[in-house]
Amino acid sequence: MADSVVSSFWGPVTSTVELCEKNYTHSSYIAEFYNTISNAPCILLALVGLINALRQRFEKRFSVLHISNMILAIGSMIFHATLQHVLQQSDETPMVWEMLLYLYVLYSPDWHYRSTMPTFLFLYGAAFAVAHSLVRFRIGFKVHYIVLCLLCVPRMYKYYIQTKDVAAKRLAKLYVATIFLGTLCWLFDRIFCKKLSHWYMNPQGHAWWHVLMGFNSYFANAFLMFCRAQQLGWKPQVVHLFGFPYVKIQKPKKKGVTAR
């Protein structure tokens, strides 16, 4: 939103997207203050997931997935802090890359030609990054992103109905709940922006979208880690630390190795 109290360090807004938060109200270095700092929980949650994946030696795909969540959150911080078109790519392009990673994690276990899927997804992601840097997508980007999200739904539902563990199903339900609430916040911020600008206090719907999507990614990753561990016979279970869920596995001991 264009109104500002202090001058802008980054210059005029050049992005094709501008949210309902007033610009530069707290600092000349941060255009949208709440939309910027609300990405911090996303980074912390992705870091927790990454540490868990590395500590228990999950497949590398999950470490890459958590890192992609962190990259997306950092890119979003950079974009919302500057509202510059060139830096808008640091938010939107990682969104697409992240969804391509989810498609790989979801569909690769049953893919017969192992090298074709990662090769295609890598080339697709690279081509999108180049095209997106040259062309200002608006509605097209949103439609493209929604299509990628919808492609994940059938496989997530299949994993859900195949999973008998109650705690794992709860992770999937939390995933659905957070994306539902986050979408409502996003829509509320977009649709009622003019009315919100006259309120004494802006509820910061887009910032809440960031927070909820950070939890959404964490729950999605944990559920997928559980399902993959089941496929590999690693005896996964959902445990809690201070009430926060994570996946713990027990890999079978290798035969022929004498204990010392």
Binding residues for Zn(2+): 80, 206, 210
CA distances from 243 to 18, 216, 240 (A): 37, 17, 5
Q: What is the dihedral of CA 133, 138, 140, 144, to 10 degrees?
A: 70
DSSP 13: -
Phi, psi of 121 (to 5 degrees): -65, -35
In 3D space, the residue among 220, 218, 213 whose CA is nearest the CA of residue 91 turns out to be 213
Handedness of CA 167, 169, 170, 174 (dihedral sign): positive
Q: Give the residue ranges of the annotated binding site for Ca(2+).
A: 21, 23, 32
Phi, psi of 246 (to 5 degrees): -150, 165
Q: Give the residue ranges of the annotated binding site.
A: 21, 23, 32, 80, 206, 210
CA distances from 140 to 132, 135, 145 (A): 11, 11, 9
Could you tell me if 68 and 94 are in contact, meaning their C-beta atoms sit under 8 angstroms apart?
yes
Where does residue 115 rank: exposed (0-12), middle (13-18), buried (19+ CB within 10 A)?
exposed
Helix H or strand E encompassing 70: helix 60-82
Distance of alpha carbon 133 from alpha carbon 94, whole angstroms: 12
Phi, psi of 125 (to 5 degrees): -65, -40
